[in-house]
Every structure is written in C-alpha cells, then in structure tokens.
Amino acid sequence: MADSNIRVLYLGPRRNIAHSGANTEQQSRAVTDIGGEFIRYEGESDGELIEALKDADVAINQGHGFKPEFFQHMGNNGRCKGLVSFGHGYDAMDLQSAVDNGVVLSNTASFGTEEVSNHTIMLLLVCSRKFVRHNNLTKSGTWTREHLPPMGHLSDQTLGIIGLGNIGRAVARKARAFGLHVIAYDPFVSSWDAKEYGVESVATPLELAQRSDYISPHTYLTDETRHMVGKEFIAAMKPTAYVINCSRGPVIDEQELIKALQEGRIAGAGLDVFEKEPVDPANPLLRMENVAVTNHYASYSEVAWERGNTQLGEEAVRIAIGQWPMSLINPDVRSTVPPRAWPKEWKVILAEAGKG
C-alpha cells in the first residue's frame, strides 16, 4: 500500500519552452490522488536546491536543469531516492553519476509514441510524394507536371528502422499498412521478437543502409549512436533513398548529410530535429526542395502532453513508495541500491491504496 506521507519536489522550467509551469495540476495529479505532498521548488541557488532535496522522497525535473553534483545529496546519500524527467531522451542526464550515488532515474517515455510515429510516417509520405517541391511550385503560380518523375511508390519498398523501442515498433506497424517491407537494426531485440512485430532484423547498420528505400532512426542519443548515420552509412545508401529523423539531431552527421544531398548521392530527407537547435537560418537544409523540415514538435499534441505530465507524477510515486519506475533509464543502478518492487500499473496502485 502506498505511503500517503510521501513528498515530491517539483522543479519547474526556468524559461518557457513548451509550457510555463504555472499550472501543475497534471504533474501533481498522481501525487494528490495517492494522498502525498507536492512541493513546488521556488529557490534560485544550488544550495537552496540541495536543501530542498533533503526533505523530499523524489524529485520531478521539467526543464529546470540538473547538475551531476546534485546526485551526491540523493540516493544512498539522502532521503531523495530518484529523479523523474519529462520527455523521451536522456542525453542531458549524467547516468553514471546517478548510478554511483544510487539515484533512480526515470523519464516519460511512451507519452508521445503515437505522435512521433505519425510524424515519421507524415515525413516519409511528404518525401515520397515530393511534396515540398510541388507545394512551392503551386504556391508560386507554376502549374506543371514537368517535375513528377521519379515519384515514390511505397508498396513493396523497404523501410529501415534503427531501434525497435516503443516508437520504432509503432512506426513499423503503421508502415506495414502502406505495404512497406520493414527491416530493423537493434542489437538488443531478438530476431523472434522482431518477427512478432512484423519486422525482419538485420545484423549491421550498413546492411540496413544498403537495402532501405527509407531510413528512420528511433534511438536515444548516446556515445554509440552519435553520428550513427554518418559518412560510411550514407555512402552505403541507395541514390534513391530518403532519410527521416524524428529522434535526435546528432544521430545523423548533418554535414555528411548536406554533402550527400548537394551531390545527389541520396534522394532527400525529412527532418524534425537538427544537430543545432534552434536551427541556423543559414543551414543549407532549409533551402533544399527535396528536404522537408519541422521544428522538433513531433511528440506534441494536447493529449500526449497531458499524458506526459501526468506520467511524471505517476513515476515519482512509484519511486517514492519503493517500486522501480516503468521507464527506468539507468538500469545499472540496480547494482548500487537496495532491492525494489517491480512497477505496477497506475490503476492497480490506486486500487491497492484504497484510492481507486
């Protein structure tokens, strides 16, 4: 049964990114439902934050920023046992420091799975149908069929996915509805599991590059995945192939991508993310008619945003009551902390606490 005396410290955004942090009803919902205390951090200095962490069981970080040295006052060294961050990625977090200090880290992975996978399919279709060029021609008053070929035909073509996590699997499921054959490179997913998703697993990224008509990475940004789609990978791609990126900008070596596009070695790209954000207005990618771009909003919808915000509180409660979070992002911490219970679905937690 959940402990109603839990205290959750909320670190709101320092600047308005996609939300102001003024209304925390969604973030605090789970904590309130379980009978816990939700505390908004109002301090300014590092020292004030360290003191605030001493009186909380878990912290939520939503755009505030969090220095690795704060972990020295958490986990095995203090009351605050974990930190929950908003979003899918965790490249801004020092996972090793958290492991060393026994701090459990979670994010809100899965909240935007439908939106990101839909956005990926949208960019794939935009590329396939040469939408950017014909949109520009029509709006400029040019009505012509002169630039139609080559035009994409999706059925029986191959989509190569890097990473078969939540989003990669959702993209595969939707791509198959268009008649695409889906292959994937993910060294951590077994071939029989990939088969259950209707996906053929491949042994190397280069094999994926060589066989795919469309390539879409859906992986976290780590030292291993940075520039995974780089010079050698791009050189192995078909001249008719497109690359779609709704994961993290640095997964693709942007300069190599630009050169390949300028030299006509690949057909085009659909990009929601860039190596440098906000994107430089002088970036050549913004002026190419075979490149579709959006401004890193693939995960957004009102429904998804509410889910992500409420998930923050749910994961915080799991950590506070001694469970693992559903979305544990530093699994090596299992070796540095006392045993925890497996995570339970939120409705089950409420029912067991008599709050259902």
Whether residue 141 is predicted with pLDDT greater than 70 in this model: the reply is: yes
Q: Span 330-352, mean pLDDT?
A: 97
Among candidate residues 19, 248, 318, 340, the one labeled active-site is 248
134 is catalytic: no
pLDDT tens digits, one per residue of 120-136: 999 999 999 999 999 99
Q: Which of 69, 277, 345, 352 is catalytic?
A: 277
Instruction: Calculate mean pLDDT across residues 321-346.
Output: 97
Q: Mind listing the pLDDT tens digit for each residue in 161-198?
A: 999 999 999 999 999 999 999 999 999 999 999 999 99
Q: Indicate if the pLDDT at residue 231 is higher than 80.
A: yes
Would you list the domain boundaries of the chain?
A: 7-111+301-352, 113-293
Alpha carbons 294 and 288: distance in angstroms, whole number: 13
Q: Which fold has domain 7-111+301-352?
A: Rossmann fold (3.40.50)
Asked if residue 116 lies in contact with residue 298, where contact means CB atoms within 8 angstroms, the answer is: yes
> What are the residues whose beta carbons fall under 8 Å from the beta carbon of 100, sequence distance 6 or more?
71, 336
Predicted confidence (pLDDT) at residue 20 exceeds the cutoff of 80: no
Identical fold at 7-111+301-352 and 113-293? yes
Which tops the pLDDT comparison, 209 or 91?
A: 209
- Residue 253, SS3? coil
Per-residue pLDDT at 1 exceeds 50: no
- Residues with Cβ within 8 Å of 136's Cβ and at least 6 positions away in sequence, in order, are 289
pLDDT confidence band for 292 (50 / 70 / 90): very high
Catalytic residue among 119, 169, 296, 340: 296
Is 248 annotated as catalytic?
Answer: yes
Which pairs count as long-range contacts for 200-207, CB under 8 Å and 24+ apart, including other chains? 202/160, 205/162, 205/233, 206/232, 206/233, 206/236
Q: How far apart are CA 289 and CA 56, in angstroms?
A: 52
Q: Does domain 113-293 have CATH number 3.40.50.720?
A: yes
Report the C-alpha gap between 218 and 171 in whole angstroms: 9
Whole-number Å distance between alpha carbons of 108 and 261: 35
Average pLDDT over residues 299-327: 97
Q: Sheet harboring 7-11: ordered strands across?
A: 37-40, 7-11, 58-61, 82-85, 104-106
Res. 22: pLDDT tops 70: no
What type of residue sits at position 208?
Answer: L
